[in-house]
Structure 1
Amino acid sequence: MRSNQEDMYLDNATLNNRYVESLLSKLEYHKLELHKEFKIPQRINSCYLDNLLDEEDTRKIYASFPEHQEMLLLKDLREYKYVGIQLNKYHPILSKIIYAFQDRRVVKIISEITGIKNLFADEYLYAAGFSLMKKDCFLNPHLDNSHDKDRDRYRVLNLLYYVTPDWHQEYGGNLELWDRGLKQPCRTIHSKFNRLVIMVTNKSSLHSVSKIDYPGQRCCVSNYYFSPQPVDDHEYFHVTSFRGRPKEKVRDLILQGDAILRNGIRKIFKHGIKKPHFYRK
């Protein structure tokens, strides 16, 4: 006779396998069209896929998100959002879906879609995990940190999976890609329920999240993939570097100075002076 603990383990294993198999099936079926979209020239490499998982599964993922008070608040001139990284504190469904994206077979298909070789998932979820944004939350234009937590590999891909049911584009909280820099209009990707976005991260992939103007919550599961080589031809290093929006002239000056200062600190102290944002197993 199985114990309750064994039953729980089998239930979790079945759930994880279902997520992985769903990802593999959907990504494989749409692989060619996603590859073509990702490679469209003269814009930040990106693509998205709707109806990624069974709708009921996605609703359960959303229902498993904790209240925002149970998450880490990040709020300053750069951003306003809530993040969850210490997965053992939260519902196991969240861990299952996050690590489903790290299955080696899923990583392989993502490599084929993007054309980026030698991809590695990050079990420590450096700056990844899951996030919640409610009314007035935002993320200013920025470049993601160029490396992993140990500065051994380049951060090359960002996978964003949106799970809030009935989230309309006019609510805000949408991904904004500044394909031609801040002097030109951005390209907006709606943070639609059950949508996966795959985007490159490099020294020019400036992106942001529009301010939320709705009394609800936009929830997202995120993963970064890394590689020993940069997507571009030469080596580089920078911390997460924020900018002001086109009309935020003063904020832009402050944030550029902030990025220069933090970049200088990281060149002296490998891990910076703040507590790094990763999963402590």
Structure 2
Amino acid sequence: MPTTTQIFDYNKWTAQLGELSKRYQSADPYPHIVLENFLDPAVVEECSEEFNQLTKSDGWINYTHYNEKKKGLNKFDLLPPTIQSTIGELNSPEFLSFLSKLTGINNLQKDDSLEGGGIHQSGKGGFLNIHADFTVHPRHSNWQRRINVLVYLNKDWQEEWGGKLELWDREMKACEEKVLPVFNRCVIFNTDADSYHGHPEPMTCPEDKFRRSIALYYYTIEDKPFRRATYYKARPGEGNKKFMVKLDNFMVAVYTEIKGKLGANDKIMGKILRMFSKKNK
């Protein structure tokens, strides 16, 4: 594997930082940017290969309920070495400094626990309804969530399979941008209370193909952060889904509160939400 210093080319990206920062901070529907060839291609290739070693890992969390169908793995010690090194680089002081300059948000903080992040995978039929992310770290009551970084690992991903990341306006009236999750493409965006996004249409990829990504979230320490669980929204024309979306929101919010106070396990709650969704279909 290439050395850690080759994972992210600071010279290349820093040289463009002025222009990239302007693009990011002026973007609609909320501050964001899509960057191609984000990391060393050999590293991303190795990360993609390492995913195949994880199919039987007992660390996977099944996020399967009314509003989503995907898997996640956020136990750092269970991740293969190149994925570990890549996450380490994207959580390094150097990268945090780059990210602060790009976004205009100072004092960004990494999350070593990879809460809700780490690596994600979804297969045929997978989806993630439009939502705004949880706003405060479940285990740190003064950590306000500020930035998402998503790096896609999918070679030869076909557009007809779906899986595009949709960015919706803050009033949830229209999708403003769709991003195909192709190899070594990175999406960085603000995680505000109304930064609505997702890939809501069930994917039609072959059974042996998967939408895979590295997902990292960054925080700032605030005296009085705004606190809310992940908040899903029905799209225009989905009036028949509003009740179940709201009911699932309630379940997620209750779990988030329990998790913050008692340290509940994601895998256990995932099973409860899955059972609840099946009963209410």
Give yes or no for TM over 0.5: yes
Name the counterpart of 1:161.
151
Change (3 A) 1:228 1:87: closer
Q: 2:229 aligns with which of 236, 239, 245?
A: 239
> 1:163–1:220: 8 Å Cα contact kept in structure 2?
yes
Name the counterpart of 1:48.
34
- In 2: Cα distance, 1:195 partner to 1:265 partner: 32
> 2:114–2:216: 8 Å Cα contact kept in structure 1?
yes
Name the counterpart of 2:130.
141
RMSD: 2.4
1:55-74 to structure 2, matched below 5 A, reads 55-65=41-51, 66-70=53-57, 71-74=60-63
Summarize deviations over 1:28-75 as a string: whole Å, max 9, x none. Answer: 132122212212255211002101123222211100114544332221
Q: 2:204 aligns with which of 206, 213, 217?
A: 213
Change (3 A) 1:127 1:266: closer
Aligned partner of 2:4: which letter?
N
Greater displacement, 78-87 / 61-70: 61-70
Change (3 A) 1:41 1:82: closer
Name the counterpart of 2:3.
15
Aligned partner of 1:17: which letter?
T
- In 1: Cα distance, 2:110 partner to 2:140 partner: 14
> 2:47–2:82: 8 Å Cα contact kept in structure 1?
yes
> 1:136–1:213: 8 Å Cα contact kept in structure 2?
yes
Matched, 1:226 2:212: no
Aligned partner of 1:198: which letter?
I
Aligned residues: 260
Matched, 1:183 2:181: no
SS at structure 1 position matched to 2:42: helix
Name the counterpart of 1:123.
112
> 1:15–1:96: 8 Å Cα contact kept in structure 2?
no
Name the counterpart of 1:5.
none
SS at structure 2 position matched to 1:227: strand
1:260 Cα deviation from its structure 2 partner:
3.8
- Give the structure-2-normalised TM-score: 0.83
> 1:265–1:272: 8 Å Cα contact kept in structure 2?
no
- In 2: Cα distance, 1:41 partner to 1:98 partner: 26
